[in-house]
Amino acid sequence: MKAEECLARLSAQLARLPGVGRRTAERMAIRLAREPDGLLRDLCRALEETAEHVRMCSLCGGLTSRDRDPCALCTDPRRDAGLLGVVEEAGDIALIEKSGVFRGRYHALGGKLSPAGNTGPSDLRLDRLLRRIREEPIKEVLLALNTDVESEATCAYLREQLRPSGVRVTRLAMGLPAGSGLQYADPITLARALQGRQEI
């Protein structure tokens, strides 16, 4: 196989990663090819180790080791089994955990509804979510999704799907980011900050 073909195939695979465009993928491929005994070898080793040792939790959809399923968060008896945080992707769980505030359990959808991306309800882990609502003692579902248009549509869809279950459905509060000022807030963020105001 010619070098150009190898680089094109590598670029095509890298471009499939979220946030990596065609030009960035091409630069990454060239950088990796320049160091076949360094960075490329280390990356291959890390990819193989990840494939060998990491899997998706069969319950929440988060990441766990292959020898621990369900994951540590799903089996921790100190977590509130009545509170379920629904996120878009497995990586969102780690972000919320870093806050140290949320003590419930999680459910990763594996994406969001996106007509442009051809992602419909059957492409997400919605059936599993509804089954968990029926089978587990869940009293509240916290929708911890992003704030873009597709995520908002996903929240609206989930709210309708969960309504017959009788569980309380909540949404993350939205407002001004720490260290920011009013002059940097977009109108939607400012409106939500005003609507979600709290007594001090």
What CATH number matches the domain at 77-171, 3.40.1360.10, 2.20.25.90, 3.40.630.30, 3.20.20.140? 3.40.1360.10
> What CA–CA distance (Å, rounded) separates 113 from 99?
26
pLDDT value, residue 200: 58
> What CA–CA distance (Å, rounded) separates 161 from 159?
6
Question: 109, 86 in Cβ contact below 8 A?
Answer: yes
Spans in the chain with pLDDT lower than 50: none
> What CA–CA distance (Å, rounded) separates 109 from 126?
7
pLDDT value, residue 117: 84
pLDDT, tens digit, 9 for 90 and up, residues 37-87: 999 999 999 999 999 999 999 999 999 999 999 999 999 999 999 999 999
> What CA–CA distance (Å, rounded) separates 90 from 63?
6
Q: What's the whole-model pTM score? A: 0.83
pLDDT value, residue 199: 67
State the Cα torsion 157-142-99-75 to the nearest 10°. Answer: -110
Picking from 147, 141, 146, 58, the residue whose alpha carbon sits closest to that of residue 104 is: 141
CA separation, residue 30 to residues 7, 37, 42, 96 (Å): 7, 14, 15, 35
pLDDT value, residue 48: 97
Q: Record the tokens describing residue 87, joined without a space.
A: 């996120």
